[in-house]
Amino acid sequence: AEALQALVQHADPHPPGYYLLLIAWCRLYGVSVVSLRGFSATVSMLSLLAMYGLGCELGTLVHHQSARLTGLFAAALLALAPAEIMYAHEGRMYAQLGLCTILLLTLYARLGLRRTAWRRWHWAALVLVEALALYTHFFAVFLIASLALWMLARLLLQARRGDRRPLLQWLISQLAVAALYAPWLPVTLERAAGHVTGTTYVPPLGQFASQVWSFLLSG
């Protein structure tokens, strides 16, 4: 409760998800530089496992025998990515956002591409991971909106063929995510309307693209 109140009072631009999990982590391992960065490092290692799962999921669509090889290759790329290595060292929320991104891509690939029958725990996982992503960083809304548009188009086509149940289940899951995020929505809207960075600089498009690729390739 004190952490949430402090985030509101001090106008922190980020949602509370990372901070609340970090509080629980520090209750176990203490407050130190090693502990704070250790949380991000642990999340980054979980991201490697999640990336292996995503690679296997997508590899299965191409050829079942290449699924494990695809997963290992994907995990190796992430392990060597300079940006991921940097995020694994930081006491910030970006490693956690990366993990949520990989998990969401895996869940949506399974639902939208493989069209396997989902059980209740699949839908529960989708709701929890989407909510955690939104509570981790505001930019998660762009990822979720993109996946939602893609999924909605696929499920509408499936509904036209007579199978409306997946569409209804997905819509219910999105309503559940909205309900979970509703308590923090007023703060989000306030931040979006009034957040100004003192060192704001808008570079030319070419310079921006160069900086992005430089960061991704070198950290």
Does residue 201 surpass a pLDDT of 80?
no
Local confidence band at 60 (pLDDT 50, 70, 90 cut-offs): confident
What pLDDT is recorded for position 66? Answer: 84
The reported pLDDT for the residue numbered 144 is 97
The pLDDT tens digits of the residues spanning 67-103 come to 999 999 999 999 999 999 999 999 999 999 999 999 9
pLDDT for residue 135: 96
CA 137, CA 153: separation in Å to the nearest integer? 26
- The pLDDT value recorded for residue 129 is 98
pLDDT at 14: 87
pLDDT per position as a tens digit, 94-127: 999 999 999 999 999 988 887 667 888 999 999 9
Q: How far apart are CA 98 and CA 216, in angstroms?
A: 13
- The C-alpha atoms of residue 29 and residue 35 are separated, in whole angstroms, by 6
Calculate the alpha carbon distances from 138 to 17, 31, 74, 164, 181 in Å.
Answer: 11, 26, 26, 31, 11
Tell me what pLDDT residue 198 has. 63
DSSP 182: G
Please write down the long-range contacts of 42-49, taking CB distance under 8 Å and 24 or more positions apart. 43/88, 43/95, 43/96, 43/98, 43/99, 44/84, 44/87, 44/88, 44/95, 44/98, 44/99, 45/88, 46/99, 47/78, 47/84, 47/95, 47/98, 47/99, 47/102, 48/75, 48/78, 48/79, 49/75
Could you tell me which residue, 170 or 114, shows the higher pLDDT?
170
| pLDDT averaged over every residue in the chain | 90
pLDDT for the residue 125: 96
How far, CA to CA in Å, does 46 sit from each of 85, 92, 95?
Answer: 13, 16, 10
